[in-house]
Chains A and B, each alone.
Chain A
Amino acid sequence: MDDLDAEDRLRFEQLVLPHVDAAFNLARWLLRRREDAEEVAQEALLRACRFFRGFHGGDARAWLLQIVRNTCYSWLEKNRPRELMVEFDEELHPRPVATPESIAMADEDRERLTRALESLPPRFREVLVLREFEGCSYKEIAAITLMPIGTVMSSLSRARRQLYSVLTNSNHKEAAREV
């Protein structure tokens, strides 16, 4: 990061670094593995720093998340191209696992939700994460993903419906297994 002078660097620290959590969280949910997310988030931050001169005000979080997202997709293309092609990954479809009874219900649900989310195609996972975890408005999601607002809305609709059906489906399976 030797392209920034001291003043730009201070500006970068003030505007962009407060959003490191958001960057990591998005990468974590897009890539599903924390080690990969850490690597890619770091790369995205480096990229952001390199092109920071091109950033003239505006929403720094949306700008950074756009870079994180593009870095994630290019990483996926290089390392796990199959994931980008599948509409719905059967292999990742959550299978009910026997959880030790000692684990609290909340943890169990957390586990189940994590697997359900991870089974969605990345494009759906992404809008859900931005909306539900990051609290982004449709306009912000559109700016980050470069989708029209109408597409944001329909992706959210499909993503929610699919998540819901995956969850209810796994509940049924679990219920069936218990019987």
Chain B
Amino acid sequence: MRCDFADSLLQGYFDRELSTASAAEFERHLQHCVHCSVELVDMDLLSERLQLARLYEAAPASLRKKIYADLRPVAPATAMSRPLLWHWLAAAAALLLLAIAGWKMNSVPRTDDYQVELAEEIVDAHVHSLQPGHLTSISSNDEQAVKGWFKGRLAFTLPARDFANDGFALQGARLDVVEDRSFAVLVYARAGHLFNVFIWPTRERDTSPRLGSRQGYQWVDWRKGRIEFCAVSDAPTSDLQQLQRLFTN
């Protein structure tokens, strides 16, 4: 036997899709309807069972490879052709080496190509950090606690801020090493996506945000007040831009 209410409101109530008024109405009904109560529990058990069984199947690497292969060839004259792009990359890599050497001697200003290259290394570091136990060395949403943890570890003042009110909840922080250099990293979460914000001192002038992507991850890099930031996530670019604005404001 099934209750008339079941089909109209039960699902919506279970999935938290009812308005407050409808939910209240349904809860009054629940108080004296055994069928609906039992069905709710059954649905919950079933849902939990589905989650526990981990049936979600992520795309296999072979599919990603094929999709990227499909994306590669660029025909129109407006875009850079592939061989040209490789030449450009080779040139960028050469410049990069110079730039690194220069930067290490603190004499030659870095080029923007270096910014891209470093951002891609940072994306790799982001991916690495997603492995269990690598994300944070201190897990806390307390700005002072996070700042305190970095005390003595950094030669600059870290803008550790929690943006939970704007949807980006501070998860914690760690030190990370990319290209033999240390970076302060703040970790944020929003709607199931993790954001790593790499932060380090720079001698360069402020720049407006620069965007890029690598292997399905997005990054945005900007400089402000002699500090450079690079935020990475698998979330849409608009989320990263919002996070960037929160830091700059």
Contact = CB atoms under 8 A, between A and B. Distances in A.
Contacts of B78: 5-6
A49 B70 contact: yes
Contacts of B8: 153
A61 to B, nearest CB: 9
Contact of A110 (B10, B12, B55, B236): B55
Interface residues of B, number: 49
Given A2-B74, A9-B79, A113 B53 contact: yes
A2 B76 contact: yes
Contact of B216 (A9, A20, A117): A20
Residue from B43, B56, B70 with most neighbouring chain A CB atoms (10 Å): B56
Given A1-B70, A153-B11, A157-B11, A20 B56 contact: no
Interface residues of A, number: 49
A1 B63 contact: no
B63 A20 contact: yes
A60 interface: yes
Contacts, number: 129
Given A6-B80, A113-B49, A131-B15, A15 B237 contact: yes
B55 A5 contact: no
Mostly helix, strand, loop or mixed at chain B's interface? mixed
Contacts of A9: 71, 74, 79
A14 interface: yes
B60 A34 contact: yes
B158 interface: no
Interface in B218-249: 218, 234-237
A110 B51 CA distance: 10
Contacts of A113: 49-50, 53, 55
B79 A34 contact: no
A21 B217 CA distance: 13
Nearest to B62: A38
A45 B70 contact: yes
Given A6-B78, A41-B63, A163-B46, A156 B53 contact: no
A157 B6 contact: yes
Interface string B22-49: 0000000000000000000011001101
Given A14-B211, A157-B6, A164-B46, A42 B63 contact: yes
Nearest to B17: A138
A24 B58 contact: yes
Given A24-B59, A157-B10, A132 B47 contact: yes
B155 interface: no
Given A13-B216, A15-B237, 5 more contacts: A18-B218, A41-B59, A135-B192, A154-B7, A160-B46
Q: What 5 A-B pairs have minimum CB-CB distances, sorted nearest first?
A: A24-B59, A2-B75, A6-B79, A110-B53, A21-B58
Interface of A: 1-2, 4-6, 9-10, 12-15, 17-18, 20-21, 23-25, 28-29, 34, 38, 41-42, 45-46, 49, 60, 106, 109-110, 113-114, 117, 128, 131-133, 135, 137-138, 153-154, 156-157, 160, 163-164, 167
